[in-house]
Amino acid sequence: MSLLVSCKDIEKAFGAEPLFYGISLGIHEGEKLGLIGANGSGKSTLLKLLSGEEEPDQGEVVFRRGLKVSRLAQAEAFGVQATVGQVLEQAAAKLHLDPEHTALKVEDWIAQAGFTGRDQLVSSLSGGYAKRLSIAKVLIQEPELLLLDEPTNHLDLEGILWLEKLLAQAEFAFVLISHDRQLLERVPKKMIEVGSHYPEGYLAVPGHWSDFLAAKEKFLEDQLRLQSVLSNKLRRENEWLSRGPKARGTKARGRIDAAADLDAELRMIKNLNRPKAKLGLDFVATGRQTRRLLEAYNLGLKMGERTLFQGLNLKLTNGSRLGLLGRNGSGKTSLLRLLQSQLAPTQGTLKTAEDLKIEVFDQHRLTLDPSWPLKNALSQTGESVVYQGKEVHIVTWAKRFLFSPSQLELPIGTLSGGEQARVQIARLMLSPADLLLLDEPTNDLDIPALEVLEESLMEFQGAIVLVTHDRALLSRVATGILGLGPLEPQLYASFDQWQAAQTEPKTLAPTAAPNPKAAPKPKGGLSYNEQKELRTLEAKVEKAEAELAEMEAQMTRPEMAQDHQGLEANWKKIQSQKNKVEALYARWHELESKAGG
């Protein structure tokens, strides 16, 4: 494979802060690279250097003559009156094809990306379809090297799978910046993590995400072993040097110089091995004892003449972590607004516990004024915050979210997307909540921050409704999934169950859910005994779920970790109890369907 682009000892700084230095790497024909690193490590800047849009402060970037490079930025602004066809035609013009071939390519990409037609206004597109247009715009140019900066942001899961297929089948080379761990597992053939803690400025590992994790763990273990070896060697050299002039005179002066070099190498290794700061997340619940926080009965919502959803029955209790899934435009964000009373339902009833405390993460970050200094975005006074009843100085609070004191005067608008997301999370943590409504909180966060976010959400004692396209996070965090689509909303017990249902014929509703539906009054299709049974099912489901929760809680007790037989026995009981819950839900659905039929 021939070399497309090479970087030789490149350095780049943002103001006085160095992003990276001494990086040398090359990209060959057909290579599929995944690029990761902490927020602020220079990933997006590196893509701009690889596209030729920016130049390094030091070193050089050399391109193969005539190389066709396209870069997909995190965000793109289109003309207000632009149409899908116009955007694609302008991009295809770079190929210098005749009008007939250009028109055919445009029509092909309109069909591939799922647009309604060439005259569809860009301003009418959802965020997900606007991202599809950006992707189609760079791909229609037939690049030899494609640079993608967080391409899954704003895509729904269907869009992510569409992109995943495109990249898996691609013959061109690409560099993919993403925090989507499942995408990184399935598409790239080589992983690169940039970071100043690596001797070469980055760590490159052939393979997928899981291969990278294993190689990184081994690298860090090797670094710690090297630190131990160097420490012992330096200790012996220092003991020799301390013996006095007679001992030193019997050896060459070079040994003294070598000891100094050894000391410098050890200090560098210790610096590389120093534990990295972690995001300090801890969402605080109010401690409310009320079991039922929110209940929805036969809820429906229309926007103009369009029905977003109808027939939604839902119950949220402490410990519920509900993921919302559906295509862009299916009503996920609108449902969040409805739950916080910003929209009124067009049918049904929404009941909430008295004085319910709701905190919201807005994916558009409309609550952040770009002109605010960071310190004022983190604190109303700019001096301190009150967290869990204690006053915390602004510098300490900022460090908890990985901001340095030198950043406190920076306007919010100059921060990266990941840094702005951390600001919003910091503001969210200041107010105790019963219910967290999180609209795409993972956008722009780096992978270490994502992992901390997962842990914090799982430890939150209130309820959570979560909109995210992060499949790994949904699989780990969500206790249930609400699928929005053209039919009535459906509740699923897990992300895996929802995913399996997408490839199965749509017949009955799922047999398990995170919360029971509100049972309608029995109708004439039921016998007397069936009507009686239906009236008791909600209580049976609640009791079965409470027993399941207690079994799962036992698995986390410290003494269980040493009782392997007890663990296995309890696990079998849990599986049996889950089957019992699913059977109850299946029976509930059967009776409801019969009653309504």
> pLDDT by residue (tens digit) across 310-359?
999 999 999 999 999 988 778 888 899 999 988 899 999 999 999 999 99
Distance (Å, whole) CA 432 – CA 358: 9
552: which residues sit within 8 A by CB, 6+ positions away?
Answer: 574
Distance (Å, whole) CA 336 – CA 482: 12
Residue 342 host element (H or E): none
- Dihedral angle computed from the Cα positions of residues 157, 158, 164 and 165, in that order, rounded to the nearest 10 degrees: 160
Whether the Cβ atoms of residue 194 and residue 18 lie closer than 8 Å to each other: no
Q: In 3-state terms, what secondary structure has residue 564? A: helix
Alpha helices, DSSP H, located in 242-326: 245-249, 253-273
What's the pLDDT score for residue 18? 81
Q: How confident is the model at residue 558 (pLDDT cuts 50, 70, 90)?
A: very low
Q: Do domains 3-68+143-212 and 292-501 have the same CATH topology?
A: yes
Q: Where are the domains of the chain?
A: 3-68+143-212, 292-501, 528-596
Q: Which CATH architecture fits 3-68+143-212?
A: 3-Layer(aba) Sandwich (3.40)
> pLDDT by residue (tens digit) across 59-100?
999 999 999 999 999 888 888 789 999 999 999 999 999 999
pTM value is 0.69
In the chain, pLDDT over 70 holds for what percent of residues? 80
Distance (Å, whole) CA 16 – CA 368: 25
Residue 380 host element (H or E): none
Backbone angles phi, psi at 21, to 5 degrees: -155, 150
Beta strands in 304-368 (DSSP E): 306-317, 321-325, 347-352, 358-361
Whether the Cβ atoms of residue 3 and residue 26 lie closer than 8 Å to each other: yes
Beta strands in 390-546 (DSSP E): 390-393, 435-439, 463-467, 480-483, 490-492
Closest CA to 333 of 513, 135, 154, 463: 154
Closest CA to 50 of 31, 184, 40, 39: 31
Residue range 292-501, CATH number = 3.40.50.300
Q: In 3-state terms, what secondary structure has residue 467? A: strand
Q: Which CATH architecture fits 528-596?
A: Orthogonal Bundle (1.10)
> pLDDT by residue (tens digit) across 95-140?
999 999 999 999 999 999 999 899 999 988 877 889 999 999 999 9
What's the pLDDT score for residue 339? 93
